[in-house]
């Protein structure tokens, strides 16, 4: 399953790169993280980072993603993360970082329920 992760903060591009590097350190996520550029505007020479695409399965890989994301997120007080899976998404601010694993699980269950 593919998850799309976007970050809203005062330095979203830097935070996306930081999050990507953080997640790639997880052995279970090796090779599953892709940075996605947005197309450049007419005033730009190149596009900025738009999101991180994460290919996760159930079980250990999903648990590694949720735990690692929560740990990275806890230290970013003015950051919001949006995670999209299919047509559903969740948006979480840093104050709710500890709720992230449960919210991710609910997102995936909602998507699985709509596929039936």
Could you tell me if 96 and 69 are in contact, meaning their C-beta atoms sit under 8 angstroms apart?
A: no
Could you tell me if 98 and 69 are in contact, meaning their C-beta atoms sit under 8 angstroms apart?
A: no
Query: How do strand 49-55 and strand 80-85 relate by DSSP bridges?
Result: unpaired
Go through the domains of the chain in sequence order and give each one's CATH number: 2-115 (3.30.70)
Q: What's the predicted TM-score (pTM) here?
A: 0.82
With residue 52 as reference, give the H or E element that holds it.
strand 49-55
DSSP state of 65: H
- The tens place of each residue's pLDDT in the chain, 116 residues long, gives 889 999 999 988 899 999 999 999 998 888 899 998 877 777 766 667 789 999 887 667 888 888 899 899 888 888 999 999 888 899 998 888 888 888 888 887 776 666 55
DSSP state of 103: H
């Amino acid at each position: 399953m593919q998850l799309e992760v976007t970050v809203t903060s005062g330095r979203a591009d830097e935070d996306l790169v930081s999050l990507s590097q953080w997640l790639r350190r997880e052995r279970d996520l090796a090779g599953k993280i892709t940075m996605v550029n947005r197309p450049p505007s007419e005033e730009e020479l190149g596009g900025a980072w738009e999101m991180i695409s994460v290919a996760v399965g159930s079980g250990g890989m999903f648990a590694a993603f949720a735990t690692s994301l929560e740990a990275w997120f806890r230290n970013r007080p003015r950051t919001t993360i949006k995670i999209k899976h299919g047509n559903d998404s969740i948006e979480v601010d840093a104050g709710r970082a500890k709720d992230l694993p449960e919210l991710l699980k609910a997102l995936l269950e909602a998507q699985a329920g709509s596929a039936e």
